[in-house]
Amino acid sequence: MFRLGHIAWLSIVLLAVEWPWNLRAGSLEKVWDVDLKEALQGEHLGAGQSYKVKKLLFSPDAEQIAVFLMGGNIELIRAQDPKTVLGAFKNEGYDDFGWSPDSQTIYTGRHVVHLPDGKACDLPPNSIFTKFIGKGSVVAFDIDPQPPPFGIVGFRRPGPAHLRFYDTDCQEQENWEVPSNWLIMDASPDRGLLSVSVVAGSPWTTELIVSPFEKKILHSASGPDAPRGRFADQGRAICGRKICWAVDTGKKIVPDHSIHVVLDDYKPGLLSALTEMSAKRGVWDISTSKEVISWRLKFITYGITFDLDGFNRDRRPIPSAISPNGEYVVEGGDGKIWLYEIRP
């Protein structure tokens, strides 16, 4: 059902995008919907568990979907049978979760799990920004175990830090001393590369493409036009904001085949009944600069707080993800998830 095609993929949310939407372009056909409270049953989910979905991810082989719930629980379900739970995990912070290229091993925070046999291990306590950079290689940023003054996040502290390389049994193989203001944004297991933002005092971060195995920076750029986004096309491109850059040169390119992104069109900060009625979500093909399909965007309220300025709602678009072959979209809301097939 979910065969990998040759369409490179990227799933992002872009706020306040402006382009002409065509609601007649294509259609969505529902494959299934599932009630999470009925499907997800286990001792780890207490009576007060919220089933509001915060985030969704497809595995590289599109056979698994990770469902992030409020409260930090992550449920791994089978895409062909959403009531089959493959595993339950806890988000330990930094929003780290990912699969090996063959979808057989996952990491959640510093916890690494081999899915076929359930064998698990933990990276050292100071490990953050975990990423797979190959089938059997994991890289993590090693931070200072002592909390910095005034609540400054560890990676912004001056001085060196380390990228540490591990096998999938959490055994360290090598390390590389790097600046502590590096922030790992994405990884390409296909090419063993990292996308890194350098946090500095300027308005714009400096963007790096790094080869950790070679322990060198391939190229860097800064300013508003620097490559920012996620790896696509098996690590040959970085795509974001409806634009792609060649990884090897840093120059803007027009892909020669389809690269699909999910984009939201609404005005953040002005959410009201009228604004939400006109909000839209769509799939955009960067290679053709055309919309594949669009539909009405739904919203969810995660919480309400009250202060001297009145009531404040944490209200956002419902989360979504696009499959690696660009043919399916999954969305999640308050206690439900839906899988749709895209019919261009």
Domain ranges of the chain: 8-343
Read off φ and ψ for residue 274, nearest 5 degrees: -70, -45
Instruction: Single out the residue of 328, 341, 323 nearest to residue 29, CA to CA.
Output: 341
Give the whole-angstrom CA distance, residue 23 versus residue 14.
Answer: 19
Length reported for the chain: 344
- Helix residue spans in 147-265 (DSSP H): none
pLDDT of residue 15: 29
pLDDT at residue 166, as a whole number: 97
Angle ∠(150,152,158) on CA atoms, nearest 5:
115
37: DSSP letter:
H
pLDDT at 25: 58
Largest CA distance in the chain: 56
Beta strands 111-114 and 120-122 are antiparallel
Q: Answer whether 78's CB lies under 8 Å from 43's CB.
A: no
pLDDT in tens, the chain (344 residues): 443 333 333 444 332 233 334 444 578 999 999 999 888 876 556 667 889 999 999 999 999 999 999 988 899 999 999 988 898 888 766 568 999 999 999 999 889 999 999 999 999 988 888 999 988 899 998 876 555 554 444 444 556 789 999 999 999 999 999 988 898 999 999 999 999 999 876 677 899 999 999 999 999 999 888 899 999 988 999 998 789 999 998 899 998 888 888 999 887 766 677 778 889 999 999 989 999 999 999 999 998 887 777 777 788 999 999 999 899 999 999 999 999 999 87
Question: What per-residue confidence (pLDDT) applies to 146?
Answer: 54
Query: 52: which DSSP letter?
Result: B
The pLDDT value given to residue 135: 82
Q: What is the DSSP letter of 223?
A: S
Q: Domain 8-343, what fold?
A: Methylamine Dehydrogenase; Chain H (2.130.10)
Cα separation of 195 and 220, whole Å?
A: 10
Residue 5, burial from CB neighbour count under 10 angstroms (0-12, 13-18, 19+): middle
Which one-letter DSSP state was computed for residue 56? E
d(Cα 308, Cα 168) in Å, to the nearest integer? 50
Whole-model pTM: value is 0.83
